[in-house]
Amino acid sequence: DLRLRYRLSLDFPLEGERLDQRECYLNTSAEWLLTPTRERAVFYSNPRAYLGLGYRFSERTRLETGPEFRTRNVDEAGNDQHIWYWRTTWIMSW
């Protein structure tokens, strides 16, 4: 199956108008998984929502942590399972 993921994400600095080194920020994102190749194409399935608090150590390094809510289809009848995760992410840009 072909699976496509679409994510919309926004960062908000907690100090000032832009995110500088050694500052905290909020990150919020929404994500959808698209599966257009099944017999019955599933669009906008398995949504995820995230709200995290982050810290920017340098131009290339950040750390984020926060709750993530996920929904996933568990059977052909369309029943969903709702799951809460605690996500911690170390981000390094090259």
pLDDT, tens digit (0-9, with 9 covering 90-100), for 63-76:
999 999 998 877 77
- The residues spanned by each domain of the chain are 4-92
Per-residue pLDDT, 42: 63
Low-confidence ranges of the chain (pLDDT < 50): none
Per-residue pLDDT, 38: 63
Question: Closest Cα partner for 56 from 87, 92, 90, 22?
Answer: 22
Per-residue pLDDT, 77: 73
pTM of the predicted model as reported, rounded to 2 decimal places: 0.79
SS3 category, 57: coil
Beta-carbon contacts of residue 63 (< 8 Å; ≥ 6 apart): 54, 55, 57, 88, 89, 90, 91
**Strand partners of residue 30:** 8, 49
